[in-house]
Amino acid sequence: APPRRDVGSPQVLAGKNLFYQAGCQGCHTPQFTTAADAAEPELANQVIRPYSDLLLHDMGPGLADERTEFAANGQDWRTAPLWGIGLSETVSGHSQFLHDGRARNLLEAVLWHGGEAEAARNFVLTFNAEQRAALLAFLNSL
């Protein structure tokens, strides 16, 4: 993952606080430590910051594709890691998000959240323009 950018910026720090207030870290888990007995010793006890729990969550009917895969139904999606998300356009040449690219930017991606993430989305909807800009600055710093 690329290094974070602008981590000390007041706007980024305000956005990080809003990320937590909205409860986004409930699924977009900020960090983990790798196992002490990793198969490769150099990978043992490493702190990683994927901003994902890497688990499946019910994201509601708005994102459903009605395709089942093993234990996942059409509304279940793996929490996408957010590390490096601020560089998506630079690296991938586009700023389309979610499993099918329907979100044209990060705010749209947040607003498509439903199901288990509906409360977080609704909290973000209460943000004023300055708060939304701060949240986006934080996400783009990842």
Backbone angles phi, psi at 121, to 5 degrees: -60, -45
Q: How far is CA 91 from CA 94, 101, 123, in A?
A: 8, 15, 30
3-state secondary structure of 22: helix
Report helix, strand and coil shares of the chain as percent, to nearest 5: 40, 10, 50
**What integer is the mean pLDDT of 8-15?**
98
> 4 vs 43, 48, 71, CA distance in Å?
20, 12, 34
pLDDT in tens, 75-130: 888 899 999 999 999 999 888 999 888 999 999 999 999 999 999 999 999 999 99
